[in-house]
Structures are given as C-alpha cells and as structure tokens.
Structure 1
C-alpha cells in the first residue's frame, strides 16, 4: 500500500468545489474510496455533503424551501419538489402517473406560488419572474420525483430557491388560487432594492449572527461580481450571441452589445443568428425539452442514441417516449446496421449523439449520419458540450445542437445553464422553428443569467490554453508504460471524423480519460493526483473523477460490454500553468505501486 502524497489541492470530502461557494456545481470526493462510499450511501461521506451535482443532489436551499412549503400547504408524510413553471410541474405530474399508474390523482398535486401584495411594483416582477410551482406528493414515492428531477433538469436553481423562499417567508409568495382577484407584485428581498443585487457594505446583509462576514457569501460576491438585476434581458442576449459565435470580445455588458458581430467566429451557416439560440436551466434540460419538442413536431416514434452517451441522454429517450435504439459503440458497423433497418422500413424520430462522446471521446461520423437523416427523414441532435463550438463546427450536420453552458462556457463552477440552437439551413427548420416558438419557456433564472454572462466573457481566451494543457497531459499519459489506454480526440481511431468538423483554429478540447493495467495502480494514481476531484467538467481548474464509478455504479457490467472500464479516470483540464500541471501528473504516475516488479 502506497502512502498518498500531501496534496495542495486536497479539499475535504463533501466540501463545495470551489470551496465556500454557495451555488457550486461540484463537490469534493477526493479519494477513490470516497467515491465508492458515496455510491454505496455510506454515512461518513453523505453526512459531510454540503452540496452535490445539482441534478443528482437537491441543493439544501431548495430542500429547505420545499420543506417550508409542505409545512404550510401539505400534510403529514408528504414532500415537495419545485419547478419554475406550471408547465414544468405538469410534466413531472404526468411522469408520476406513468411510473406509478395506481397512484390516486388527488395525492399528487400542483401548488402554484405567485407574488402578491397591496401595492404593485410590477417592473421587478417582469424581470425576475419570482414564481414557483410545487408538486406535493406522499413521501414513499419520492424516488419518482427524484428520478424526474435528475433526468429532465426541469427543477429550479438554488438561487431561485433562495430568492423565492425569502418572498415566501415574508408572505409575498402565496397560493395563486387564493389571490385570483388581487393585484400581483414583487418587491423583492432587500438586496434587490438598490442598483446592484449584492450588498458590498459591511451591513447585516453580508454578516452572520456574530457580526462577521459570512465567508460563503463573501466568496459568492467576490467571484460573482456585482449583479444588476435590471440587466437580465441584456445578459441573456449577450449569452445567446456568444453561443451564436458573434460576440467574442471580453468587455463589459453594455459595450459588448454595441459591438459589431465577430464574423470570423460566427457559426458558418447562412441565415444563422442569436434568434435561433434558446436558453435552458441546464444542459440536460435542453436535451430533454428538445426531445419533447421533436415529438410534438413529428409524433411518437423511437429515437436512436449513437455512441456511448452521458447517462441521462439515454434515460430521457428510454423513459419519455416510445423507447430507444441504442448503438453504444458508435461505430461504422453500427451505422451499417442502422442503414439496413432504415432501408427495411423502420422509422425513427431522431438520432442523438455527442461530439465527441463522454467519457471515451470518440467522434461519430456526422457526415454519414446527416446523409441517412436526409434520406430517411429523422432529426439529428448533436451535443457539442465536450467539443464546444470554438473547436468544432457541427451545426451543418444537425437539426438541433445542444450544449451544457454549466461546463466550459461558464468555467467558474457556480452556475447552471443550457442551450439549444436550430439550424436554419436544415430542411426541418420551418417546422422546428414553429414548434419552438409555440412551446419554448425561458426558465433560466435572472441571477443565474447574470452570473453566466459574466463568467463567459473570457470564454474565447480560455479555450486555447485549455486545449494546449490537455494535449500536454495526453502526451504524458500515452507514453507511460502502466497507462493502458488514453482517450482523447487527437489520438482516437475516430480522429478523422473529429478533424472533419474541427474549426480552422480549433483544438481537441479539455476532456480526456485514461485507464490502467490494474485497479491498484488506478486507485493509487487517482489518490495521489494533486487536482481537485469531483463531478462535472469544463471548469477553469483541473477536475478529476473516477467517472464510471460515479455515473454508472449500478451498471458497471453493462458499461464494460461497450468497452467502458470501471477503473477509468476522467480529467477535465483547466487553466493552470502548463509546467506545473505536467509535474502534478508526473508525480501521480510516479506514486503508483510497482506492480509485478
């Protein structure tokens, strides 16, 4: 047994990543044993969890608000789960009865909470839309609610929960059925009643009960910068322009919106603009609602998932439609099989794929997929989260391109977001545009939009550094004799498919994975790797994870059948100084036991 090195980036188990960040989207699981214990539900890990990845771990602020709602409107033995709109709650309600048809209708109900008071102040309400739709249900069926929360990404954000909980406690957010004839308004918590939403003074808003500044709030404010809630609409416009590729300058919001478009970076599809970009609360929600919209446009049909995907993409098409044809290898042979099925008369709604995939970083043959889609009439949905549009240009091959903005687009690991963009040159465009315009709800919370805009200003300048760092790590791992396999687009057998979509100045991204010849070596390497360790990817700092253990612990044999090793370590490479990062990986490799010596 090797003794782990003293690690500079060792963050206590259960602490937020970054530490003391109230709305962090990752959590520290710093050892292999801690990751397994988390999956096994061991108390020494679970009792220390300050947060978790938001779709897998309901943030404590959200749960606290849900408990308060049940306390006022519920019954003994009930729980609640919270959504940003009545429409989203209806989707969850329908899922309850799909999963448990014997449930009595009256035991699962929707409570809509809206702002109201005697004196209207509608301007702020229009900006922040402080409303909540709660599903209240018996405690014993909570697993259904949690399943929907994870797969759909429809739930509220922790910032929305904190804001609306404050209104609820002050009697401003109430049951909509009780105020049908009264004017509605939202005055907002005190921190919103000034030009910025962050109070930088040493007054009570920034202090705990002892008069000292709350460190988690300080970090949120310091790194979140000042928020001007009145700029929400402009922040969302700037984000959409960045996703479109037309806004690339790292400047303030006001100046950014006056700049001419960056035509060198704009996605090279005729007629495309930010008007074809739609924002969602998180990346998985963009996939979930894209699937819902495609079914609304074309009807109920099976979909195809091509290549080994992120877990919930597969769950969405399996559980919320007519099922799925799954090609887990994403190979040319798989496309041969699909083509035979199509020629035999089988028809499908859509093909969902990632470019490149996670965690094996393989790239699908988008050109052939597009040709099959045009010939046989199915939609193509490409998730570009891992590649990102500065490295790859996949829009010409897709009907819809989806992405998680939580990842490298933000980089700061403190806000969730997602996007879906329509291809105006696709034959499906007119149909899909009408469908989106009819069905789309903007549920991205105002504060989250402000954070996302500020975080993404330097998106362009970060990518080159991350690309270079990841390539350097790939080169180190590939030559080590005890590293069994390195997964990275540059050294993949699907590199030609990636290069076909690579932009003129694009790299191979910041995500890579590695496997080792023994479990003992793998665990020793991970435990001695001096990076922060937890779920998520695309952070500005290097973030490592035993990905398969975390994402697929209950289905490891199934993963292995598609060549996905349980002892795989995934690295999301950050902005660290290159030589320092290289040394970190070298030291972890040197710390591995000498197996077979």
Structure 2
C-alpha cells in the first residue's frame, strides 16, 4: 500500500484559494475524491464550501443580500437574483420567458435599487454609481436564474454585493420607483467614455467598506497597500485598458501609468488601435456573452460556429442564446474543409468562436485560414486569447473581436473577476461594430474590483516571463516520464505551427498544460500526491491543479471522450514558484504512481 506524501500545500476542502481571502475566485478541492464528491453533491464536500468559482457558486455575500431583498420586497415563495443594471436584469427576465413560458409575466419582476444622496458620501456615490437590479421569481425556478447567471457572467460581484448590502441595510439603497426626480441619485451605470483626460490626483481618501469597525479582511487588504480610494476608479480602469492595449508594460504606480501618451508604442501591432477599442466587463464569460449578443444585433439571429474544444460556457451561450451552433470539437483542418464546403454551398453563419490556444488540450486554431474564410464568406471571428495572452501571442489581426478573462493571469492574485473585449480597428466590419458597442455598452465592472485589478496587473509582464519558463520546465518533466501517456502544451502540439505564426518576438508558450495517464489509478495517485494547491480557475500566481474534465464536464464525460478529451485528464496552471522546487514537486508526485 502506497503511503501518501505529506503535502505542504494541502488546503482543507472548501477553503478559499488563496486561504482566508474573502473574494477569492477559487476553492480547494485537494483530492480526486473531493472533486467527484463536489460534482455528486456529497454533503461532506458541499457543507464545507466557503466559496466557489463565482459563476458556478453564488458568493455568500451575494446570497445574503439577495435574501434581504427578497424578504423586504418579495412575495411568499419568491427568491431574488442580483444584477448590476436594469438592462442585464431584463435579459434575465427574457431568458425566463423563453425557458418557462407558462409563468405569468408578473411572476418574474425587476426591482431597481438605487442610492439616495446622503451628504458626505454623495461624492463617493457619484463616482462609483452603486445600484443593483434584482429579478424576483418563484423559488422553484431558481435553476433558470442560475443558468442565466452562469452563462452570461453578468451577475453582481461579491464586492458590489457587500457595499450595496450595507447601503441597503441603512435605507440608503431604495426602490427607484418610490423616488421623485430630485431624490433619485443616478439613473444607471456610467457609460463607457472615450475621453481619457482624467484627473490624475486623488480628491478623497475613503476606506473600503461602510461599517465603523473594520473587519479583518478589510484590514489586511488595506494594511498591505490596498487602501481603496474609490475616487481613482476611472483612472484604474483606464490603466487596465492601457495594459490590455499593450501600451503600458512597466510595473509603475497609477499616476505614472496615466502620464503615458495613449498612442505610445504598443505590443499589439495593429494600426489605429488604442485603448478606446477596449471594453471592460464583469468577467471573461460576460465578454463572450455580450460579444455574441451584439454580433447578433448587427447581422440577425444566425447560427454560430465553435471551432476547437472550448471552455464549456462558450458552447452553451451560442446554443442557448441564439439559433444554434455548428460545433467542430477537434479543431482540425478537415473540419475547416467541411466548413468551407458548407460556405460554398450557401450556408451562412454569424461568427466563429475559437480559443487560442484551446482549453484543456492546448491546440491552436489556424487563424490565418479562418480569417480568409471569414473575409470571403462574411462572418465574424471571435478569438479568446485568455490562455495565450497578448504578451505571448498577437491574435488581434485575425479577429474582429478578441476577448479575454482578466480574472486569470492578468490579475494573478485569484481575488477579483474581470473581462475584456477588443474591437479590431482594421476589421472589415469595424465601423458597424463600433457603433453597436457605443450604443449598447454598459460599464458594469464594479469600482472596488477595478482598483484591485489595476493593482494586481502592474507586474503582469514580469510574471508572464517567469510563468512561461516554469511551465516549459514542468512540461519537460512530464514528457520524460514513462507513466505519462500524453502532455498537452502548445510547444509540443501538432498545431504548434499555427501558434508560432501568432507568437510575439519574445513570446513563450504560456502557463497552462495538461496530461493524461495510462489508467485512472495512475491519474488519481499522481493528483492526490501532487503538492500544489488544487481547485478551479487558472492563471494564478501559484501553481493550481485540477482534474479538469471531472470538474467542468462531469455530466457529459462520454461526449468529451468523443472529442478526444479524456475524463482522467489533469490540468496544471503553472505559477511563480522557484523552478527547481516545482520540478521536484512534480517528480515526487510521479514517483507516487504505483508500480
């Protein structure tokens, strides 16, 4: 019998990752059994869950606020789910109408909660525009609400919920319909502004939170340089957009970051591109959801194409929120041949959605061929660059829209959500798309989240270089071991030529890789003895591992296998640890595989 190795990074089931982090975006599932238990709904796992990945697990702060709203404004047997604006809540209401047409219209209602001006805090409220739109619905229909929450990514963040719940409990966040025009503080979320000449100074110094007594989490965040001056919200968002544009690559403070000219040299080599073509969203999936929605607004409800095995919700979005999907799960040249034949025969499509590279097989699509087909047959190309990231690859010339999850390596700290969407100014339909986004876009990224995201991303460039090196080292260890069946990594993928075609001059192959084993027993032994933190998400500053397919596709394992994605695959998001230490951690786990 194999004796388990004591693990330095063993974090209790259900603990936040990082531990004791109030707004963590990952949760510890440290053993194979714990991951299966979570998917099976076993009490020994669920009862310990302090948090979960935010789109799949509604944060307890959000649940508490939603319960308070339902108690005050709901009818018996009703529940509430919270969104950052009326427009988002209305989309949830429309989804209810499609999924449960038998419900009377007044059974799914929208309640808009807005702040009332209150003296000294008025200036702060004007800056951050705290408001929430609740959808009230019969509690037995919660699954419908949760489905919209998960797929759209447009629910409120936990920080917004905490802040607004505090206002609500003091009577400072009220039903908008009860106010007259003079009492009403703000009518909606602030629209995206092209203007970037923002005051670089700080006009106020408000602490995070609203209680007189600081809670421990707030104290820790502020004690270590995290004092949230909410007057800097707009500046923080601008700095984030400049980093995404590639014009801000130095690890500098906020004032220095904004002193740079916006058209300074960029890492994204597309003429005419600037931060004005970048839009922030609450999370990466929100970027994809709203891309699909807005693209349909320009061309009508046409089917989309999903090319390559995607992250689960991308496929669900185009299937559930549009007329359907043509799915090419292998991401092969033969599938592009089939698509070309369909196009030649007159089939029309809205857009092709693809990841560069894909998750979890790390295969890279032939973007050059896809762009050629899109230009010839008039469909959009949407590229998710989350895993590659723009420091390693430049995919913008091939996409009409480029999306990314800023929650991942851009932040690194695993304590804030965010997403970005970029319009390619050289795209054939740029003017049409730009007009659509300018008319539709709401900036729903919460103020405190934006400030954390800006601070976390300051050392983005240096972190990527180290992560690239560490991932290659781990890849070499796994590839050299006889008990490992296959290692998936862009450098060693049969699709490497497509990756290299987009690779930047100093770019590497990213921090994500996965491996399969010759038996489930081997996979479980390796995973359970791997001394890294284990849970959902990726792009963290620390190495994070998971039995990805079990966690993301537990109810459809046979379907995954039909696309070459094995149930026992283990995925690794490699972090910033010392390389030699990481190598030893992986070698020890491989040695624990039974002979």
Relative distance call for 1:410 and 1:368 in structure 2 (3 A) is same
Alpha-carbon distance in 1 for matches of 2:492, 2:594: 27
**Matches of 1:32 and 1:119 in 2, distance apart?**
54
Tell me, yes or no, if the aligned pair for 2:37 and 2:45 is still in contact at 8 Å: yes
Residues 250-269 of structure 1: CA deviation (Å, up to 9, x unaligned): 11100111134695543100
Contact 1:534 1:544 in 2 (8 A): yes
Residues 13-65 of structure 1: per-residue CA shift (max 9 Å, x gap): 00000000000000000000000000000000000000000000000000000
Q: Residues of 2 paired with 1:404 and 1:30: CA distance?
A: 24
The aligned counterpart of 2:473 is 472
The Cα shift of 1:224 comes to 6.5
1:587 maps to 588
| SS state at 1:137 partner | strand
| Correspondences of 1:250-269 after superposition (within 5 Å) | 250-260=251-261, 265-269=266-270
2-side partners of 1:362 and 1:575: how far apart? Answer: 24
In structure 1, distance between residues paired with 2:117 and 2:212: 25
Q: Deviations over 1:526-560 (max 9, x none)?
A: 00000000000000000000000000000000000
Matched, 1:422 2:423: yes
Q: Write the distance in 1 (CA, Å) between the matches of 2:180 and 2:23.
A: 34
- Pair 1:531-2:532 in alignment: yes
Return the offset for 1:199.
8.4
Paired residue for 1:195?
205
1:38 aligns with 2:38: yes
Q: Name the counterpart of 1:205.
A: 213
- Tell me how far apart the structure 2 counterparts of residues 220 and 558 of structure 1 sit (CA, whole Å): 43
Q: For 1:402-441, what aligned pairs fall within 5 Å after superposition? A: 402-441=403-442
Give the distance between the partners of 1:399 and 1:48, measured in 2 at CA. Answer: 43
- Partners of 1:26 and 1:262 in 2: how far apart? 36
In the alignment, structure 1 residue 297 sits paired with structure 2 residue 307:
no
- The one-character-per-residue Cα deviations of 1:159-210 (angstroms, maximum 9, x if unpaired) are 0000000000000001111113442349xxxxx996142489xx95225xxx
- Distance in 2, Cα, partners of 1:98 & 1:392: 40
Q: CA RMSD in A?
A: 1.7
Counterparts of 1:395 and 1:58 in 2: how far apart (Å)?
A: 33
In 1, distance between residues paired with 2:265 and 2:528? 43
Distance in 1 of aligned mates of 2:89 and 2:474? 44
- Closer, same or farther: CA 147–199 of 1 in aligned 2, 3 Å: closer
Aligned twin of 1:189: none
Q: Deviations over 1:100-119 (max 9, x none)?
A: 11111111100000111565
Instruction: Give deviations 1:362-381, integer Å, cap 9, x for gaps.
Output: 00000000000000000000
Structure 2 length-normalised TM: 0.95
Deviation of the 1:77 alpha carbon: 1.2
CA distance in 1 between counterparts of 2:209 and 2:438 reads 38
Q: 2: CA distance between counterparts of 1:196 and 1:571?
A: 39
Distance 1:123 1:496 in 2: 54
- Whole-angstrom distance in 2 between the partners of 1:260 and 1:361: 36
Q: Is the 8 A contact 2:80 2:135 kept in 1?
A: yes
Matched with 1:211 is none
For 1:384, the equivalent position in structure 2 comes to 385
1:411-447: CA deviations, max 9, x gaps?
0000000000000011110000000000000000000
Q: 2 CA distance for matches of 1:123 and 1:499?
A: 50
Per-residue deviation at 1:127?
1.2
1:239-288 per-residue CA deviation (whole Å, 9 max, x = no partner) reads: 00000000011111001111346955431000000000000000000000
Distance 1:505 1:441 in 2: 35
Aligned to 1:513: 514
Helix, strand or coil at the partner of 2:213: helix
Give the unaligned 5+ runs of structure 2: 187-201
1:203-352 superposed matches below 5 A:
205-207=213-215, 214=216, 216-222=217-223, 225-260=226-261, 265-352=266-353
Q: Hey, what does 2:366 align to over in structure 1? A: 365
Structure 1 residues 356 and 540, CA gap change in structure 2 (3 angstroms): same
- How many correspondences in the alignment? 580
Counterpart for residue 149 of structure 1: 149
Residue 542 (structure 1) aligns with: 543
Q: Distance in 2 between matches of 1:339 and 1:47?
A: 51
Q: Distance in 2 between matches of 1:36 and 1:509?
A: 28
Partners of 1:268 and 1:361 in 2: CA distance: 24
Alpha-carbon distance in structure 1 between the residues aligned to 2:308 and 2:428: 25
